[in-house]
């Protein structure tokens, strides 16, 4: 991880995070009606899968937590797609 982030006890115990700090410089989520939500310097991502779609929790280099509900249509990013993603916490 490029930035030092302290996870909360919930984030540490209950969520599985993947380090994407070396892969992406920014990420944008696209919504209906041309809505776009941009995250600069994403470093950690947690993906929650459900029948309604995937939601994402992302922590950026500044320690800001972003919650992306499963209403997004797609995303774009600057970087390398999925090569070298490293789990921060493995499932028990």
The reported pLDDT for the residue numbered 86 is 58
Can you give the pLDDT at residue 40?
A: 97
**pLDDT tens string 28-87:** 999 999 999 999 999 999 999 999 999 999 999 999 999 999 999 999 999 877 655 555
Is the four-CA dihedral 75, 42, 15, 66 of positive or negative sign? negative
List the structure tokens of 48: 């929650």
Q: Where are the domains positioned within the chain?
A: 14-80
Extended strands (E) in 1-92: 18-19, 24-30, 36-40, 42-48, 55-60, 65-68, 74-79, 86-87
């Amino acid at each position: 991880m490029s930035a030092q982030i302290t996870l909360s006890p919930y984030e540490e115990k209950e969520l599985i995070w993947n380090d994407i700090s070396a892969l992406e410089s920014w990420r944008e989520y696209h919504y209906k009606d041309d809505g776009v939500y941009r995250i600069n310097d994403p470093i950690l991502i947690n993906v929650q899968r459900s029948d309604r779609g995937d939601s994402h929790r992302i922590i950026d280099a500044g320690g800001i937590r972003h919650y992306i509900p499963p209403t997004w249509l797609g995303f774009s990013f600057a970087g390398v797609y999925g090569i070298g993603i490293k789990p921060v916490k493995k499932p028990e």
